[in-house]
A and B are shown apart, each in its own frame.
Chain A
Amino acid sequence: MVNGYLAETLQEALAIRARENVVPYSGGTDLMIEPDEEATYLFIHKIPELKTINEDPEYLRIGAACTFTELLEDARVPGILKDAVAQIAAPAIRNLGTVGGNICNGSPKADSALILFATDAKLRLASTRGERTIPISEFYLGRKKTALQPDELLIEILMSNTGLSNYYYKKVGARNALAISRVSFAGILQVEGGKIINCMTAFGAISDVIIRHKEIDALLVGKTLDEAKTVKKVYLGAYDQAIAPIKGRISAEYRKTVCMNLLRDFLETNGI
C-alpha cells in the first residue's frame, strides 16, 4: 500500500519502525482528527502480541492495541479501568480506539491514562535495540510529548493484579456521551487490618501532564482512618499548594475548585 505498512508480526513492525519515519497507527481515532497527508502509517492492529491480555502472578498485561471495547469485555480488567473506559466517547469510537493509542497520544485528558497513573502502571516498550519497562509517570514529558523513541513501540501495559478494588473515579465533562474531560480524578485507598496500606491518586485534564503526587498520598499511609482524619487538613493543604491547573476552555479556578471537591469527596467516601 502507498503511505502505509500493515505489519503482521511484532518483529516486522519493529524493523519498519527502525528503518523508516512512520507513525504507529493502532486505532487511529486521535490521528484521524487531524490527518497528515504526508504521513506514512504503520498499522499495528493485527499484531497478535499487541492484541492479547495476559495475567501473571504480579501483573495484568494488556496488549497496547486492545480496543476499549475489548477491555470492557474482558473479565480480568479491573473495575477502575472499566469505569473510565466505559465513559470514553461512544461505542463506535470505543470499537476503534486503543489503550496504547490513548497513552501515546500524550494528552493529559486521556481517560484510560489517568487510571494507569493512579495505579502506578508500567509500560513495556520495544525496539530492535531491545526492550525497557518504565513507570507511566516517566513516559509523559509534557503536553503531547512522550518518552517514546522514534524506533520504539508501546507493547504492553502492566497493571498490578492486586489492591485496586477499593477505588473512586469521577470524570467531569459537559455531557454524558462524547465528552472530553474537564477535570478527572481517580483514587485508590487500600485498608487492611484497620490501617491504610496504600493511597494513590491522580488528576487528569488540568495540566500539561496527568498529576500524581506520591509524596502527598504517603501522608495517609500507615494511619488508621481516625488517624487519617487528624492529618486530613495537612493532606488537603498539601494538594491545595501542589495543584495549579492551567486555563483551557474553562478557567483554572473552576478546575482547582473541582479538583479539591473531588479529593475531599474521595476521602469522605472512605470515612476520612
Chain B
Amino acid sequence: MVELPTPRRGEDPYLRVTDLRVRFDTEDGVVKAVDGVSFAVERGRTLGIVGESGSGKSVTSLAILGLHNAKRTTISGEISVGGRQLVGLREEEIRRLRGRDMAMIFQDPLSALHPYYSVGRQIAEAYRVHHPRAGKREARSRAVDMLGRVGIPQPAKRFDQFPHEFSGGMRQRAMIAMALVNDPDLLIADEPTTALDVTVQAQILDLLADLQAEFRSAIILITHDLGVVSQVADDVLVMYAGRAVEHGSVERVLRAPQHPYTWGLLSSVPSLHGDADADLVPIPGNPPSLINLPSGCAFHPRCRWAGVNGDRSRTEIPELGPAGAPGHLVACHLPVAARERIYRDEVAQVGVAR
C-alpha cells in the first residue's frame, strides 16, 4: 500500500482539483471533455457546477470518483481529496475511498438502483463493503436508521421493499441514504432533482441542506438549473465546452455576472418575475462539438461581443483571471471596463439578470 500524505492543515479545502484534463479516444477523434478545470470545495460548503449538456460537468464529477474507463480515458491534472492525490492511484485504492470518503447521488434513481434487490439490502451492502467486520444485523439497523434520517416513513418496513414499490421522490431519498450511509466527507450530486417534480424537488433540496448542516460534508451539485443553484450553492462554477468560464460566490456570479455565456444563460431562463410578455433573449447557435472546438475562446461563435477586441477572441484562449471582487474569476478577453459597461447598459435590462 502506498503511503498516503497526511492533510496539511484543517483549514485546507477538502477537495482540490487542479488543472484537470479528461480526454476520450473515439473513432472520430479525441474528445476533450474537460480541458484544464480547477476548483476547490471546503467542508460544509456547496459548489454548484452549471453548464449545458456536453459542457463537461458530469465528466468532471466522474473523474473525481475515478469512474471513467481507464482504457479509453486519459486523465491528467491533480485531484486531491482530504489531502490524498487521486489521479494515478490504483483502482483498489480508489475503491476503498469511493463510497466511504466520497459518494455520489445519481440523476435517475430508477436506473441507479438494482431492480432485483430490496432497497434496504442495497444500502446495507454499501455499508458492509466498507465495514467488513459489521454483521448483517448491524448493517441492517444502520440502513434502517439512514432511511429514517432521509425522511422515509416506516423505514423498517420499507427496508424490504423493492425500488419499483417506491415513488420517484422516495427513490431519490433512498439514493441519498445509500450515499450517506458511510458518512462521506464529499458528496457529489449529479442533477439530483432533474427527474423529479417541483414540489418533490423542494423537499430533496431541503433535505440535502439539512444533512449538510448535520454532517458538514462538502457538496458538489451539478445542474443545468440556475434556479436550483441560486437556492443551495455557496459558490458557482460555470462551464462551457469543457472549460471553466466563470467562478465565484453565488452572489457575484448570479448578481454581477461577468462572462457573456453567463449573461446568456441568465437572460434565457424564463422567470416568475418581470415582464412575462417580453421576449426571452436566447444564446444564438448551438454548443460546439468537443472534438473540433472553435479556435480561441470556445464561446466566440455564439458571443455578440467577440469582435470587440479585434481577432483576439478567435485566436487566443482566454485564461481564468480576476473579475473585480475577491474570489471572482472569469475567462473572457473583454476589458473589465467594457464588460461592466456592456453588462450595465445592454444585459442587466433584460430577463432575470435584473
Are A and B co-members of a single complex? no
A interface residue numbers (CB < 8 A to B): none
